[in-house]
Structure 1
């Protein structure tokens, strides 16, 4: 059919709007669903034509019905097609690919990609895709179309999820199509779609069936140039097709049947489709069958070799098939006009014919050079379908290794798993695989872990412990080392420590080996937080020397990082920053990017914890650059570097830069680790009372119980937000729900404890004003409990070992907690607040933790005013005001202005003019009258305005006289009537 679009105006408008939003800098995705044949591809084609006409960059890729065989197939298809000479985007795409070898490895002519399986392989590839789309989008908006996602491999589904989550301000619109009628309850795409449609930047467009009028318009378009379509034909076609455009077109194309209104139409869609094929010559039918077995795009040479036709016959047959619109040109080959047609032809093949054709494809693929992109996966697919188990086995092993190199661990595992299933069914499997069964099982487990299936990987290795007794000792040790690593990731620390110790004990200490170095590295990790026999750091120091002697640079660097973390928590070692820097340099030299990133994170964090904010900023910036340059900005430590970069700017008071970093943090989150990242943005949003605070908390709250750090940060800041809104009880509810030992007993708890004590101080002040002694006592007891936990956190680590180093910020929070505890008793302790303010400066009166310095000086000014030192109170108040105004810290500014008015710390301003009874009152008397109207007694008025109760009593008497009233109640009525 022509490019005319019928009955899809609303759907096209939604797609166009999404593309326009992307062009304006608001990236998004649209998932287009509908039954097979309903016109999803036709709709998307209209969008791509319009986009190209507007000068947009357009990349289109298709999935194929090859199971989980070929990772990233639609992405590779989109990049390969866009990079072909003559394509509008060819120069841009080729340049972007040349700068990203990990993506070039996806292409048929590419030789890039990781040289071996790597923990960061998939993350690097995802980062490279994000970088490529962002780079293309800088020049012009990008439309990326991924068709037939119901056939997508697992890695493509992961990539789709990643892009939908992280694309934000890039000028990129992603459109995916899938068959909704294929998404049965257990279909792997079903939960992905459900999850993505919860995101605000992802919309769904469902393509409905035609109504009768649209079917009539569609058939009229098909019959253009021929006899008009009768109403009877329209009614019969619409009824039989149920409004499905593809089905309607096929019914209408069965012209002899339709001309005879009494003739029976074919009973099903498959019969209709095959009737089209049966009209072809023998050569044409042979070509269509070959294309159906190929499963996706075919070219002239492929058809010639597999069909057995000579070049002239193939050319004639292809012209015939294309003229009948069964195959259509696509890129440098041909593809079926519709997938339903391919499915019908493939299903109609006789079993023997199908097997022979698959075998022909397998022979052709076996002759390709080793390393040809995707050939091993396709060879495994065709060999298995041809019942050639030895070929399928060897190809599955090769395909697994290729998928590993491409950063597709999920597909690698599937291929290895298939090979292991075939192990007993093929002769001499070790020779064909180039490895033994135990090693291949270990490789499969490693791929499973890299794909995020750590529990499944651990389960496989647990079984290997029992069946590997006949294996050589180094292999048995390696199995235990990886098993311990996975147990660590699953927080099964005790078993991990036992297994890791076994891995070390199996290997001789001399000569040093790589296996021993990594066994030591994993064992050291198990001892960082639980070291019952006191083996660290002596064991780790010896292991570092052994790793160096073995030339295991990655293990040496990993050991140094672990040793640094241990020393920092237990030995107050001031040289840990240098240790982390040394580990970073060794990891860089040894080509271990994951360890290098981990070392960079610890180096920057240590600088930050020790108050070297300039050094921390430089280290965090360099670490983020390293993560982004290596395409791992969204890995665990990549995210850690970015949140640390944000925290450094938040601390130094460079909030404009911090907000720029937080722009990359998600708002609407559905996964625990996303909630964790999102929560960091609350530090500034709460301090500035941003209108987005409530929305962010609504998204994070359902995930608090699933992520400890998200719970700690999110609830801590939710508590602070409640306090700024004068809701101390809600604040305490949040504090009480931060219950994990790591955060409720460790040094991290200090900030939360100080917030809780602030809340208790507010409740105690209210109770004291109301004369509720019992409530005051309860607040004091709860505050004492918090202080006991603070002192325990200061004295011991969470595993009950004495704490040797707390950090500058930790000491400042302890002082804040002590000062707030005194406020619970109604005492504003000048020296405690002075100490707190000084500790938060980190030794730099004009620097340090700028916002907390201002908050501490606010309380210090309040304490000084209450104790009669108005001159210094005014100095501290002005300092806090200057910071709060620069940071636009709205709630702190409001509190300072209130304090300035009550304590008369600010420069006097011209009083507003009053008429009526209030005109006779002084400014101070109006302040007293306002408190009288709120129900305060003289003692409370004195405390609020930092005056003596006697002075307050004199003011009240003067007010009664000037207002010509006889009671406080009458004075309050005047105040309410006059609006103060």
Structure 2
């Protein structure tokens, strides 16, 4: 494990402490700093000391010590006075001559550890105050008293006297203590009440670090992958020390950390420990009535035990007459310390209580306790109910985890396994992990009964999910198998099979067959009153018409789908996503963005922002913002939740960000390209975005030798999935030609290889361009490709009418302007300005250059 470098996430608190201590202006002040053990008090004080030393202050630190330290009066003051004497012996000597009590705190004085009773606290306080003031008159002083929760009675009183009197010299005093060590009978508790009433005392409490700050901290400690980092961040719950210990222990509670976590538990009486053990087995929020049903204590005994656990900051009351652990790792440490028999008996008691009184908990609670106690049948039944409830309430990730747990509890021949697998897969997809859903179904298909209608539901789910990225070749075959398995049925499973068949036929470009197959599906949907599947089916059918010239009619039909269901529904997301695609194909980027934003807003209200079409809407919205020239907004939209976000979805967002960062900064960490490379086979558009961004950057950096293998890999994938006549090759060819315009390879073999790739691309694109009939995006890239090829011819010295080259670039500029993409239009204007200048049309060249500069500033 690496050592953390620098403080993370405490800038605001540090500024407050530095300001309150007057370190910036030399004014002095008093701060009482609190926070749980390990939260970062000592690290913050280290930075405060650094600020003080930078300001020229003398720093003196006094530590309070556990156990024996409480029996040694004034121990922290003896330490700090000795430090002052070592740093400024003549000044401290002068004070000791006039304040004899001070001599008894100095190192080397025989009675230092036992200040005589005849020296009252007032005289000693006067002596310490005089010493601090005398030194502060020369250079300013910062006094740090750490761990005041262990301070002896005399030291607490002396601190109170110093705080009450204050200082006219520039003395800063900061006192820290562990807030989680305090309870109502703790000796520091009443003293804190006194300090809180002092007008010149600033209290600063350190809350747990935010999730983002914890990610930063853990990243400084380890090179582990996102999933391991996320696990540490979640378990540490904002506590820096816990995070460091978990990283050092491989995310396992080490012996040192376990001792820290169990320390307060071990101070409890036996009844309170019994209650806390039960709460630890519950593992999260625990209702009072459920606890009463599980532990063998009278109501009064339970109340007393809970009061002790709360006073010692092990448990804390939460809303709804319930309790929770102050930190989840405390529960884990206590649970891990239980004997197997203790743990099983508690799980059995919880399961029995929840089965008898379901209102005391949730179905997921019952499932977990039943599974841990060995009652698999109850666990499976309750787990399925819990998963269905979580999905209905907008918690697809939780539902996915619950269904997968159930599959682990379930016997291999359980008749519910196929349906539960389908539910787990759809929940995984709704949470953004489409790949997980596909793998779950594919694995089950390899082991399910090939004649069971339940298999048809699996097949339909497979077709629905596997098509999201690059469709496997067997989708239509799978859909037709589902239809055969449900032949003669008239239920929802039959309808799901028919809808999957229509989708697979549409994806295979067999539109007439898809429309024909949809008739039976629509009739069955009406018979079953299955409006959700009917709406999905109508959305598929509308998409078949997306290439029609009458796009307004297609739009009207999609909007009609939305209006038929007045409440938010997942199908609305899909419909608005299709509307966004149609607007993009029409070239109306602002309208496309508005439709995609509508889809994203509905997804948010449904609490499932990362489902299939939900994620695609957000992704395409980021692309629209990029094309429209709002790079900052694009990056904001293309920021999925912190890792671990499921792959390849996360990589798809990164690839889109690569395009934006390349356009905005012309510099991207090469490691980001490497991170998305493994997911190229899963998503061809991801591969396209990453490949073209890297192509531009390689050209800009002069690393032309890396371009041929990059293009060979990318083009092979594009051809495998989209064919050799895909219009997207206009863009790749235009970008490659642009690279060759800007950088002429010195190596003739490399120039020949690059030219061969470009020739291969242009041989494919030329007949497509000549045929025409494509949308504004393809037309814009075709015009740029034509201009770049003419530019290459011009640079090679071949005879060329300058007016033709100017005209080609003017057409490219105009087409990108028509599309509404200022960045790409500006790229073409740069070429146009260069050609105009070379043609001695200097005024026109300056005009174009001025427009480029203005556009660059706006971007």
For 2:625 and 2:571, the matched residues in 1 are separated by 25
Shift of 1:607: 1.7
Aligned match of 1:504: 483
Aligned match of 1:525: 503
For 1:142 and 1:680, the matched residues in 2 are separated by 41
Q: How many residues align?
A: 645
Unaligned runs of 5+ in 2: 17-33, 46-203, 247-253
Residues 536-587 of structure 1, C-alpha deviations (whole Å, 9 max, x = no match): 455457755764675444334433443444444xxx4123454255235424
2:792 matches 1:817: no
Cα pair 2:39 2:239 within 8 Å, conserved: no
Aligned match of 1:306: 294
Aligned match of 1:43: 38
Cα 1:587/1:317, change in 2 over 3 Å: same
Residues 861-887 of structure 1, C-alpha deviations (whole Å, 9 max, x = no match): 555666x6x55x743x35532431221
Aligned match of 1:459: 442
Cα 1:176/1:365, change in 2 over 3 Å: farther
Aligned match of 1:938: none
Shift of 1:776: 8.1
Calculate the TM-score normalised by the size of structure 2: 0.61
Cα pair 1:12 1:43 within 8 Å, conserved: no
For 2:767 and 2:695, the matched residues in 1 are separated by 22
From 447, 453, 464, give the equivalent of 1:485. 464
Unaligned runs of 5+ in 1: 1-8, 23-38, 51-140, 147-162, 210-241, 254-272, 425-434, 796-802, 893-980
For 2:15 and 2:527, the matched residues in 1 are separated by 57
Aligned match of 1:752: 732
Shift of 1:464: 6.1
Residues 575-594 of structure 1: matches in 2 within 5 Å?
575-576=550-551, 578-587=553-562, 589-590=564-565, 593-594=569-570
For 1:856 and 1:362, the matched residues in 2 are separated by 70
Aligned match of 1:54: none
For 1:341 and 1:614, the matched residues in 2 are separated by 54
Cα pair 2:425 2:438 within 8 Å, conserved: no
Aligned match of 1:562: 540
* Secondary structure of the structure 2 residue equivalent to 1:421: coil
Aligned match of 1:661: 634
From 759, 763, 778, give the equivalent of 1:788. 763
Aligned match of 1:377: 364
From 391, 400, 422, give the equivalent of 1:410. 400
Calculate the TM-score normalised by the size of structure 1: 0.54
Residues 234-313 of structure 1: matches in 2 within 5 Å?
244=256, 247=259, 280=270, 287=275, 290-291=278-279, 294-295=282-283, 301-313=289-301
Cα 1:832/1:47, change in 2 over 3 Å: same
Cα pair 1:577 1:603 within 8 Å, conserved: no
2:851 matches 1:880: no
Residues 490-547 of structure 1, C-alpha deviations (whole Å, 9 max, x = no match): 7563322112023234556997x65454333322332344347962455457755764
Cα pair 1:420 1:441 within 8 Å, conserved: no
For 1:492 and 1:479, the matched residues in 2 are separated by 17
Shift of 1:788: 0.8
Cα pair 1:521 1:555 within 8 Å, conserved: yes
Residues 883-902 of structure 1: matches in 2 within 5 Å?
883-888=851-856
Shift of 1:790: 1.7
Aligned-residue RMSD, C-alpha: 5.4
Aligned match of 1:850: 822
For 1:188 and 1:685, the matched residues in 2 are separated by 22
Residues 442-841 of structure 1: matches in 2 within 5 Å?
442-444=422-424, 446-447=426-427, 452=433, 453-463=436-446, 465-466=448-449, 468-469=451-452, 475=454, 477-488=456-467, 491=470, 493-507=472-486, 514-531=492-509, 535-540=513-518, 543=521, 547=525, 551-568=529-546, 572-576=547-551, 578-587=553-562, 589-590=564-565, 593-652=569-628, 655=629, 657-666=630-639, 672-683=648-659, 685-688=661-664, 690=665, 693-707=666-680, 708-724=684-700, 734-739=710-715, 740=717, 741=719, 742=721, 745=724, 746-761=726-741, 781-791=756-766, 805-826=773-794, 827=798, 830-831=803-804, 834-835=807-808, 837-838=810-811, 841=814
For 2:438 and 2:287, the matched residues in 1 are separated by 43
Shift of 1:841: 3.1
Cα pair 2:218 2:233 within 8 Å, conserved: no
Aligned match of 2:152: none
Aligned match of 1:899: none
Aligned match of 1:976: none
